[in-house]
Amino acid sequence: MERKTDVLVVGGGPAGIITAVTARKYYPDKDIVVMKDVEHGVIPCGIPYMFASLKNPDENKLGNAALDNNKIDCVIDMAVKIDKEKKSVLTDKGDTYFYDKLVLAVGSTPVNLPIPGIDKKGVYSIPKDLNYLKEIIIEIKRYKKILVIGGGFIGVEFADELAKLDEKEVALVEMLPSILANSFDPEFSKIAEDKLKEAGVNIMTGISVKEILGDQKVEKVKLSDGSELEIDAIILGVGSIPDVHLAHEAGLDSDKRKGIFVDEYMRTGESDIFAVGDCACKRDFYTRKPIPVMLASTATAEARIAGANLYKIKVVRENKGTIAIYSTYLDGLVFGSAGLTETTALAEGFEIAIGNVEGVDKHPGSLPGASKSKLKLIFSKQSGIILGGQVSGGMSCAQIINIIGVAIQKRMSYTELETLQMATHPYLTSAPTVYPLVVAAQNAGSNMRS
């Protein structure tokens, strides 16, 4: 079969869907097709919560309602080859799709650890595949001793979630000296580690798995300090690599670790081909270096830029890079990070000033339900511009990190932040006299002058 469409989006995850939906808003008359390889996708950030928090894993299904509501045609098939001269895509089913504009939103694939025994039964990587996930949830629930390898966001979220199940012994191994080390400085990682330990997770940092032992099925692991750990199952949370195969074969510039190279409008080197989401190379907002940030929220921000700009530059890309903005929730405590940490800023050669503050999220703090919070802001010392921030505490931190995110994207200075007008209320926030963002900016200012 041959088919001609105006816009062909390859990939049905958040990046693909949002590109298509945005294109529909800006180009109401175009024919838009989304090609995805499975009927039902999965909400990527919800995957860890399919084990205990959600009653039924199907609740985490990524449906097609957004496509149907926007008159976007959905095709279940897999692109196998791009011919950029003929502007066509050949599929697994043998069909050919001709496009005006092609968007690659083909995602990423979990990394497998290059260690002996990785292929044994009982070792699970976590691809974004609903049916596969439903199966492994059933399998993992049967096991008692579960080891999570990798202390990034996915790893710690899995560990936290698995610890909610009855009669499980959950351990986590992280090679770096602390968990969540790419996004948090050690003092915040420490809080997260303590929280997970309280929840019953055996946290091991600064140590790695050298070998997976067992007959056919995993029975134990050998660690880098020589010790062995008995284990029934392993979950791998050691990151993903961008799917660049299709792009590379088509002759588009890409790097198998960094992704498909794109400009600020998400265009590849070929002007009618765009790439968005995990498969597209991201550059850090401040350092301009490629960074491996694979987040649905980053993907959707990119998708909204690509979708608007397929035929004309309707939306100038203000956001010049990825701010690596994350939040997570561990055993009732919120953690958020955006931009550079103190550690990464120093490693990248920035001259910085830090502002720290601790507070409560109600005022007076004796009101029912008040939580403590901790906030840190990192500024460029001479220019006074915010480079990053971290927060931990009650639910309010989930949106406070987004205030910090806007401040970074608008390159706000500490003087703007210290004179910020904000809504405060006894039940909802700390007092205006000690609003944490403002006080942290003030404290950083004092450190700049000293």
- Cα distance between residue 189 and residue 270, in whole Å: 42
290: contact with a copy of itself by CB under 8 A: no
370-399 residues near a copy of itself, rule: CB under 8 A: 395-396, 398-399
Q: Residue 115 in contact with residue 209, Cβ under 8 Å?
A: yes
Which residue from 444, 347, 344, 331 is spatially nearest to 394, judged by alpha carbons?
331
57-96 residues near a copy of itself, rule: CB under 8 A: 59-60, 66
Cβ proximity to a copy of itself, 233 vs 308, nearer residue: 308
Residue of 247, 412, 440, 444 that binds a copy of itself (CB under 8 A): 412
Cβ proximity to a copy of itself, 54 vs 175, nearer residue: 54
Residue of 323, 340, 360, 387 that binds a copy of itself (CB under 8 A): 323
119: contact with a copy of itself by CB under 8 A: no
- What ranges in 163-292 are assigned the alpha helix state H? 186-198, 245-249
262: contact with a copy of itself by CB under 8 A: no
Smallest gap from residue 58 Cβ to a copy of itself (A): 10
Contacts 24+ apart (CB under 8 A), 194-200: 195/330, 195/331, 195/332, 195/333, 196/156, 196/159, 196/160, 196/163, 196/172, 196/330, 196/331, 198/331, 199/160, 199/163, 199/164, 199/330, 199/331, 200/163, 200/170
182: contact with a copy of itself by CB under 8 A: no
Cβ proximity to a copy of itself, 120 vs 411, nearer residue: 411
Q: In the sheet that 228-230 helps form, which strands lie side by side, from edge to edge?
A: 209-213, 220-223, 228-230
Smallest gap from residue 161 Cβ to a copy of itself (A): 10
Q: Residue 16 in contact with residue 33, Cβ under 8 Å?
A: no
Stretch that binds a copy of itself, among 125-133, 185-193, 226-234, 417-425 (CB under 8 A): 417-425
- Cα distance between residue 326 and residue 294, in whole Å: 10
Cβ proximity to a copy of itself, 206 vs 432, nearer residue: 432
325-344 residues near a copy of itself, rule: CB under 8 A: 325-329, 334, 336-338
Smallest gap from residue 425 Cβ to a copy of itself (A): 5
The one-character DSSP state at 330 is: E
263: contact with a copy of itself by CB under 8 A: no
- Give me the 298-317 binding string for a copy of itself, x by CB under 8 A, dash otherwise: xxxx--xx--x------xxx
Helix (H) or strand (E) segment spanning residue 7: strand 2-10
Smallest gap from residue 71 Cβ to a copy of itself (A): 15
164: contact with a copy of itself by CB under 8 A: no
Smallest gap from residue 410 Cβ to a copy of itself (A): 5
Query: Residue 286 corresponds to which amino acid?
Result: Y
- For residue 164 the two structure tokens come to 């909610």
Residue 371 DSSP SS3: coil
Stretch that binds a copy of itself, among 73-81, 216-224, 249-257, 289-297 (CB under 8 A): 289-297
Angle at 204 between CA 176 and CA 140, to 5 degrees: 110
